[in-house]
């Protein structure tokens, strides 16, 4: 769990990098905070996030969890790309927003694993997401 | 794998139901065909589907695969809701569209499993998606 | 997360039920404790748990995590059967035993989700396991 | 999907390597064939493969699928280690054996993905397994 890489990536640098994430912005996702293998993202819910049954679309929930995961695993400055994600849908979301909190399970030299919990406006768990990333040597910093 | 339910759900009925999937439409996904536990969906790629690294966002790929899965598992008329999905990201997409093809692995009385293959404009596999659904007794037909 | 079922299943009843788990016993797994949606299991490591590379076999790690999951999701007395499991292999195990701790993520009327953490003799995380179960109406109690 | 590595690994070399897989042998698994990203393994079923409900243990099914996956992804001679596996349990096994067939979904320079189908003596699908492996540079050949 420890990550001994010397790094000076700031929260603002991470946020700035994720501002380039056009799809996340298109969906309406906000990166709340990120750093040291953790990240929190938020999705205010609107009608266009729903599916044919009127409930929040699994794709919207996944995209939110995925952004928190991406921010957490890229928080050391090295490029990390998702190789596998798994998501359990626990209950339909209530309230008018979703919150995704990603935490690091492990970060090896090549492979890192993250767990993301998605809760709704009622504070209840909507989804549990597990992501594995491949860590490249390159940095995403300009 | 056999599904002996007598059903008269037409491809047009399924398409009509999925026209109510506001999030899929928002993302730009088209349901190409669906019926008898199978479905194909298509996503023409635009700039707003990309992430901060310039590659197609995992959330867009997932949402496409998820729609094909949803159309396949709802193709008998009974409401089926996703309980678990797992997705492997194989390579970055090339070309200007993605295609997702869902096929039924099994359909029991309560639980059904589907496998979805996502290919890109170059005909290469971009992602492999596995979905499990819980089948309700109710129909989504009006 | 709350589970309001009135139940009088004792830890001893659960242990007694899992004593019938012949495969877990064959592999050498011990159920340490179980109750209220949680369980802990232990596997003392021997040569026959290793693979061709000399490291603890993924099948042994999975079976240990699966037993903790099964004990946790059956801890209310109702039969619960695994429908999907996902496991990440973080690092090779060190030391002479593995410990699996299962906790409930959610328990709905039909579907329940559990998260299991497997640590080794050095106290480090070896694997992370997520399990979903289908909850039957029947009890496993005689 | 193509794998352009020049290799002379024979089926007999692979079988010989997997004879060192002590846990698979302990469980009773036989490697039927392996080569070029594919493998088939077989498990004759006995009483010690069952759980407390009398059905074949998920850990036994997983270990069988995992061996087919391991043989397939190690079939080019390079060491490949599992990083993530996901398994769906479709139905309880019937008959007196299980068969696992692994096929390659993709094999990149570092990451490879495999799909494994487990069928029972009645020829029906019992489980679907997806495995991702990290490919090391080293060979397992002596």
Which chain B residue has the Cα nearest residue C111?
B83
With bands split at pLDDT 50, 70 and 90, how would you rate the model's confidence at C2? very low
C-alpha to C-alpha distances, A95 to A31, A44, A61, B104, C36, nearest whole angstrom: 19, 9, 14, 34, 29
* Cβ–Cβ contact B58 with A under 8 A: yes
ipTM of this complex prediction, to 2 decimal places: 0.93
- The band of C8, judged by pLDDT with boundaries at 50, 70 and 90, is confident
How far apart CA A67 and CA A132 sit, in angstroms, is 13
Q: Kindly list the residues from chain A whose CB atom is less than 8 angstroms away from the CB atom of residue D109.
A: none
Nearest residue of C to residue A130 by CA position?
Answer: C130
CA–CA separation, A91 and B40 (whole Å): 27
- D125-139 and D78-89: which strand pairing? antiparallel
For chain A, which chains pass the contact test of at least 3 CB pairs under 8 Å? B, C, D
Least confident residue range of A79-88, C33-42, D3-12, D108-117: D3-12
Q: Which chains touch D (3 or more CB pairs under 8 A)?
A: A, B, C
- All domains of chain C in start order, with CATH: 11-139 (3.10.129.10)
Distance CA D105, CA B130 (A): 13
Question: Within a 10 A sphere around the Cβ of D124, how many other Cβ atoms?
Answer: 15
Which stretches of chain B score pLDDT less than 50? 1-4
Please give the average per-residue pLDDT across D25-48, as a whole number.
Answer: 97
Question: pLDDT digits over A96-109, tens only?
Answer: 999 999 999 999 88
D122 has a pLDDT exceeding 90: yes
How many contacts does A have with B, using Cβ atoms within 8 A?
120
Instruction: Please tell me the predicted confidence (pLDDT) of residue B1.
Output: 38
pLDDT in tens, A26-66: 999 999 999 999 999 999 999 999 999 899 999 999 999 99
C15 touches chain D (CB under 8 A): no
Spatial separation of the C-alpha atoms in residues C77 and D27, rounded to whole Å = 29
- Give the orientation angle of helix C58-73 with respect to helix D58-73, to 10 degrees: 150
Model's pTM, two decimal places?
A: 0.90
Note the pLDDT of residue A2: 43
Residue C3 has pLDDT above 60, yes or no: no
Band (pLDDT 50/70/90 cuts) for residue A1 is very low
Q: Which of D27, D79, D84 sits opposite C59 (nearest CB)?
A: D27
> Residue D14, SS3?
helix
Q: What is the pLDDT of residue D7?
A: 59
Read off the pLDDT of each residue in C114-129 and give the average, rounded to a whole number: 96
CB pairs under 8 A between A and C: 40
Average pLDDT over residues D102-109: 93
Cα–Cα distance for residue pair B123/D58, rounded to 1 Å: 36
Q: What are the helix and strand counts (H, E) for chain D?
A: 3, 6
Chain D: nearest CA to A113, how far in angstroms?
10
pLDDT of residue B80: 96
> Does residue D118 sit at the C interface (CB-CB below 8 Å)?
no
């Amino acid at each position: 769990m420890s990550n001994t890489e010397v790094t000076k990536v700031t929260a603002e640098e991470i946020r700035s990098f994720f501002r380039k994430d056009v799809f996340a912005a298109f969906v309406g996702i906000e990166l709340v905070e990120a750093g040291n293998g953790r990240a929190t993202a938020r999705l205010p819910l609107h009608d266009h996030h729903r599916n044919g049954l009127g409930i929040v679309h699994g794709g919207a929930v996944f995209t939110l969890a995925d952004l928190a995961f991406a921010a957490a695993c890229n928080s050391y400055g090295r490029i990390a790309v998702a190789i596998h994600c798994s998501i359990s849908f626990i209950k339909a979301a209530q309230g008018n927003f979703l919150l995704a909190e990603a935490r690091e399970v492990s970060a090896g030299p090549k492979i890192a694993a993250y767990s993301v919990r998605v809760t709704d406006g009622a504070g209840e768990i909507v989804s549990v997401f597990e992501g594995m990333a491949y860590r490249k040597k390159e940095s995403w910093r300009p």
